[in-house]
Amino acid sequence: MLPEVIAMQEPAEPRTSERLVLSSGRYIHFGPFQIDQQRQEVTRNGVRLKLQGKVYQVLLTLIEKPGEVVTREELRMRLWPADTHVNYDANVNTTVNKLRQALGDSSDKPLYIETIPRKGYCLLVLPEVSDKSTTSLFLHASADTAKLAPRTPGTIEFSKSDLWIIVGVIGLILAGMLLGAGIARLWIPHAAPMAPYRFSFLLSFLATMP
């Protein structure tokens, strides 16, 4: 029997396809979120989120390695220079918690960021990089929704011109009422002295009748 020849395979290279190339596009999308790398802004359904600089950097670090563990040491090197003297563990925890709060995530039931005990953190979603923004789509969608919203029965809608006309009519009515009150106030004192004369004239007229 001929000796069996076993082909020796080279070890597989580490997979790098999961690593996201952030330079391939301006915008990063995952879930309802969009990241504008040029303006360093994060929006959720078109609404801008207020993220501090270090919180934003943590998010980018996790996005660069979706599905992989980002160690606490990697975050420390990304956020603080080597000569910075801070409590790294406490500050990393605080920064990640702020990011979770901004994303509406939870450490107990994570949707985006999972804690890997004694190692670091992992991004659970796969982001997409593109040059197209979804913010304008959300704005157009909200505008269309407002236009298509059903009107409540019994409600009346007025335009700005209609409101100005109504205000003008009310003003004219009030002005007429004030003018009438002023005229009546001036006329009554002059009319009062004539009342006895008119009454005596009426009596004399009745006396001359057969």
**pTM (2 decimals)?**
0.57
Q: In the chain, where are the structural domains located?
A: 22-137, 160-204
Q: How confident is the model at residue 7 (pLDDT cuts 50, 70, 90)?
A: very low
Q: What rounded mean pLDDT belongs to the chain? A: 78
Question: What average pLDDT does range 143-151 have in this prediction?
Answer: 51
Q: What pLDDT digit, counting tens, does each position of 32-70 carry?
A: 999 999 999 999 999 999 999 999 999 999 999 999 999
For 82-119, the pLDDT digits (tens) are: 777 778 889 999 999 999 999 999 999 999 999 999 99
Q: Which is more confident, 26 or 209?
A: 26
* Helix segments in the chain, DSSP class H: 53-64, 72-79, 88-103, 135-148, 160-191, 194-207
Q: What's the first-to-final CA gap in the chain, in angstroms?
A: 165
> In the CATH hierarchy, which fold is given to the domain comprising 22-137?
Arc Repressor Mutant, subunit A (1.10.10)
Q: How many CB atoms lie within 10 A of CB 149?
A: 8
Dig out the tokens for 33 from the structure. 């979120």
In 70-159, alpha helices (H): 72-79, 88-103, 135-148
